[in-house]
Chains A and B, each alone.
Chain A
């Protein structure tokens, strides 16, 4: 029964991984751009949630929404102020830009919030539920379900709506899209907003159940790389499956080998993937 609990817990955490990784994979698929600062977006989402709780005394729905909106805005600003310009430059500039941004955000967070671990105060999602003998914290359950729902919603938005078609059109062929009357810059700004927004809300969902410090951004960023590499670059459904798999692997390896080894196992898996199947499980070669 304990092992079953570990599995369910891993899958619920994996659902949140899937949510923020789908943001990373969206940007990669659209612009061929790897955002090294994506984990920092998740971390900022966590602090955004904390600030809303402390200042406005908001409940989970309020701080979740606030984190999503705040990070959406940040994503658009980052695109308009930085990414739009470096995309025209050499690849060195592209990699440096998001890498430098990651450092800037991470250490600014250290400076403002200090290196101490913080957690959200008790709220309406505290407590546990009993599902057929498996005891799960309510917060993890709700967060996991919301994360899966949002990831699926993002997928449907991309594949079933006009905006989604425009986004895909820009990623397919920027110039052709422009001739069809789509503004590529707006669409890419929207993609960055959605990507960062997904990271932000995932951060808020994580913040409900887990304590954190500014350094979590690095871990989540690498986790997102692994998820995207496993699921295939640019694929949101791929990110969903891969996120769940990674969450499961982490939980099981933490359970069997000890908590220190959960990241080692995941990174080792990433390296093995790059060797054996670099296009990901579901990606095209």
Chain B
């Protein structure tokens, strides 16, 4: 019934495309976009576990991303540790924070969770901006040149691309495995009807907290990868509200609660964002975010299932049947 993921034809094609992309498009510009797409796909897929599968919409996932981004550079600046050692610290802190937020808010309806996440993320962002120990508003910097491979500081984009792709593969494999286990069914049961799920014996709170923890861990890793690659982090690029927004919009665009939705969303949105920045000039200013807001509103109004669901509805039945056979 369930063939291993790699042997399914669509997934095989997808994997090959992702693997050869930087070799076909060897221009640094395209490779950079590739790296950005994969990184965005990692954080959006991580968000997707709790926001998509469990239906608990976090609008403050930047708190985990930021913690993950700060940890490697902080230890580098303090004691000259290789940034890679900061990754597990970031994960540990994020797990703790996930439990601290999930425990009280998951007792209540989903809106409380959304409000709590945005408030905690803002609290941390403002606090980080005033705390000299973590560089206050100026932020932190990583090693300028690599002292060895363990610094993960490379000259070209290629090593980053395959490193990030590996992390994404691990994350998607874990998600795919969970999808078919009891845990995955629990998550979907909670999303569809929490009360019904509870009455059927689903341990609702524990399941939600576990989902949030897994999501937080991978979001933290995404943050670490980002700061190690850029070699720089400040409160806005780590904890800013737009970091959270990007995860939400990418997952929702592709299809929240589907395995490849976030990846699809990243493949569409990141190049589009680069293009709008180029057309309208001024990276990251106004128009890009008007565009973001517009997309989110349109998805919510017309297509809350994202592009995957849209495809399911409009794709001709015959084509799908022949494909499924």
Contacts and interface: CB of A to CB of B under 8 A. Distances in A.
Given A89-B304, A95-B57, A278-B112, A268 B123 contact: yes
Interface stretch (A65-73, A183-191, A222-230): A222-230
Contacts of A95: 57, 59, 110-111, 114
A102 B300 contact: no
A104 B248 contact: no
Contacts of B116: 271, 274
A118 interface: no
B24 to A, nearest CB: 35
B301 interface: yes
Contacts of B228: none
Interface stretch (B31-39, B78-86, B284-292): B284-292
Given A97-B300, A222-B122, A103 B104 contact: no
B299 A32 contact: no
Interface residues of A, number: 44
Contacts of B191: 90
Interface string A153-180: 0000000000000000000000000000
Contacts of A101: 293, 297
7 contacts: A92-B57, A100-B295, A105-B293, A111-B287, A263-B122, A271-B119, A278-B108
B98 interface: no
B21 interface: no
Which of B109, B123, B256, B297 gathers the greatest number of chain A CB atoms within 10 Å?
Answer: B297
Contacts of A278: 104-105, 107-108, 112
A100 B122 contact: no
B167 interface: no
Interface in A208-264: 218, 222, 225-226, 229, 260-261, 263-264
Nearest to B120: A271
Interface string A29-65: 0001010100000000000000000000000000000
B127 interface: yes
Nearest to B304: A93
A91 B57 contact: yes
B256 A92 contact: yes
Contacts of A90: 55, 191, 304
Contacts of A102: 293
Given A96-B57, A96-B296, 16 more contacts: A32-B109, A34-B115, A89-B300, A92-B52, A92-B57, A92-B300, A94-B300, A95-B57, A97-B297, A97-B300, A99-B245, A103-B290, A105-B293, A106-B289, A270-B119, A270-B123
Contacts of A110: 285-286, 289
A93 B252 CA distance: 9
A93 B127 CA distance: 31
A86 B300 contact: yes
Given A90-B55, A108-B290, A96 B299 contact: yes
Interface of B: 51-52, 55, 57, 59, 104-105, 107-112, 114-116, 118-120, 122-123, 126-127, 130, 191, 241, 245, 248, 252, 256, 285-287, 289-290, 292-301, 304
Q: At the interface, is chain A mostly helix, strand, loop or mixed?
A: helix
Contacts of B119: 222, 225-226, 267, 270-271, 274
A111 B290 contact: yes
A103 B304 contact: no
A92 B304 contact: yes
A97 B57 CA distance: 12
Which of A94, A100, A263, A278 gathers the greatest number of chain B CB atoms within 10 Å?
Answer: A100
B252 A96 contact: yes
A93 B309 CA distance: 14
Contact of B245 (A93, A103, A108): A103
A92 B57 CA distance: 6
A225 to B, nearest CB: 5
A261 B293 CA distance: 30
A154 to B, nearest CB: 22
B296 A100 contact: yes
Contacts of A91: 55, 57, 110
A90 to B, nearest CB: 6
A275 B104 contact: yes
Given A274-B116, A278-B112, A99 B59 contact: yes
Nearest to A86: B300
A34 B116 CA distance: 12
B283 to A, nearest CB: 14
A218 B57 contact: no
Which of A93, A108, A261 gathers the greatest number of chain B CB atoms within 10 Å?
Answer: A93
A96 B104 contact: no
B127 A274 contact: no
B126 A107 contact: no
A92 B256 CA distance: 9
Contacts of A93: 299-301, 304
A107 B301 contact: no
A21 to B, nearest CB: 13
Contacts of B245: 99, 103
